[in-house]
Amino acid sequence: MVATAEPPLAGHDAEAARLWAEFARARGVDARNRVIEYYLPLARTVAATLYARRGGLAVEFQDYLQLATLGLIEAVERFDPSLGHAFATFATPRMRGSILNGLEALSEQYTQIGLRKRLEEERLQSLRPAADGSAGRRARGDLLGSLADLAVGLALSRLLEGSGMMAAHEAEPSYRQEFYERDELRQLRASLAALVRALPDQERRVVWYHYYHGLGFTEIATLFDLSKGRISQIHRQALQLLHEAHASVGRVDARL
């Protein structure tokens, strides 16, 4: 599937039929993930609709999106296209249910631990110097270099959160949004989104799921049938590649 294009929300066009046929033949991880990625915009639409109607619970949109995506994954696993039903009709109530059930749990836990804090901690753990000293700079004991790498990685994480690559839902303006709307940062984020689309497939998908759909490393590891530690390594590699690419080419054409 082409990473630079948004897949449509329709349930039974030619591309959807082809992806479902591949998944029906193999039932493999890669085929399943291609189906999931095709319908990620549907998960975002369901999450945005419920988020716009949110009540008093101070839950962020990213939480809604993560719960919708988890509902989508379950729906893909359970759906039988041979029955002739539209997948969107089958999946939408399951995504809504996933959100509503998740919000009920979050209402008790949100003050203690939030999704954003957990994701940020995973990123920080991923970017800390490797215990085996595999990076050349760290192997030489260059503490300042290690700290610089960590700072760059965290800065890239912040930029990826607000890159707009997936047109994140913003129901209300905020001082952060207004501050970051400066031309320079908009251009930098557009360049970064183009560099993400040019990443190797595995790194691109980890960035896609983690930053633009709010999945933690544990959930992504389950999707890819890998360990959480391996996903953490891929995340670190992705940010290193983004840093090197931006340093090499500077501002890139966001239309790439």
CATH number at residue 181: 1.20.140
Higher-pLDDT residue of 234 and 111 is: 234
In a shared domain, residues 33 and 104? yes
CA–CA separation, 97 vs 35, rounded Å?
20
In a shared domain, residues 119 and 239? yes
In a domain, 100, yes or no: yes
Amino acid residing at 242: L
In a domain, 221, yes or no: yes
Block residue for tokens 């804090």:
117
The number of residues making up the chain comes to 256
- Position 46 scores a pLDDT of 95
In a domain, 3, yes or no: no
111-151 residue pLDDT tens: 445 566 777 778 778 877 654 444 444 444 454 445 556 66
Burial 55-86 (b: 16+ CB within 10 A, else e): eeeebebbbbbbbbbbbbbebbeebebeeeee
CA–CA separation, 87 vs 75, rounded Å?
9
In a shared domain, residues 147 and 167? yes
In a shared domain, residues 154 and 204? yes
* Model pTM score: 0.60
In a domain, 6, yes or no: no
In a shared domain, residues 91 and 135? no
In a shared domain, residues 66 and 173? no
Q: Which long-range contacts (CB under 8 A, 24 or more apart) does 44-49 make?
A: 44/68, 44/166, 44/169, 44/213, 45/9, 46/71, 46/92, 46/95, 46/96, 46/99, 47/95, 47/99, 47/169, 48/169
- Position 38 scores a pLDDT of 93
Boundaries of domain holding 237: 115-249
In a domain, 254, yes or no: no
In a shared domain, residues 105 and 163? no
- Position 180 scores a pLDDT of 47
In a shared domain, residues 105 and 162? no
Q: Map residue 205 onto helix, strand or coil.
A: helix
* Strongest mean pLDDT among 63-77, 97-111, 160-174: 63-77
Give the residue from 109, 144, 178 where a domain finishes.
109
- Position 108 scores a pLDDT of 58
Reported confidence tier of residue 92, pLDDT bands at 50, 70, 90:
very high
In a domain, 177, yes or no: yes
In a domain, 89, yes or no: yes
Q: Where are the alpha helices (DSSP H) in the chain?
A: 14-26, 29-38, 40-52, 61-78, 87-109, 115-127, 136-139, 143-161, 175-180, 183-197, 201-213, 217-224, 228-249
Structure tokens at 212: 């633009």
CATH number of domain containing 24: 1.10.1740.10
Q: Helix crossing, 61-78 with 217-224: angle to 10°?
A: 20
In a shared domain, residues 47 and 23? yes
In a shared domain, residues 128 and 223? yes
In a shared domain, residues 18 and 86? yes
pLDDT > 90 fraction of the chain, expressed in percent and rounded:
27
pLDDT > 70 fraction of the chain, expressed in percent and rounded:
66
In a shared domain, residues 181 and 199? yes
What total number of domains does the chain contain? 2
Give the residue from 109, 133, 165 where a domain finishes.
109
Angle formed at CA 119 by CA 190 and CA 129, multiple of 5 degrees: 90
In a domain, 255, yes or no: no
Structure tokens at 163: 């890159």
Give the residue from 67, 92, 109 where a domain finishes.
109
Q: Is the pLDDT of residue 160 over 90?
A: no
- Position 142 scores a pLDDT of 56
Which whole-number Å values give the CA distances from 190 to 40, 67, 115, 204, 249, in the listed order? 21, 27, 26, 16, 14
Residue partners of 71: CB distance under 8 A and separation at least 6: 43, 46, 91, 94, 95, 96, 97, 98, 99
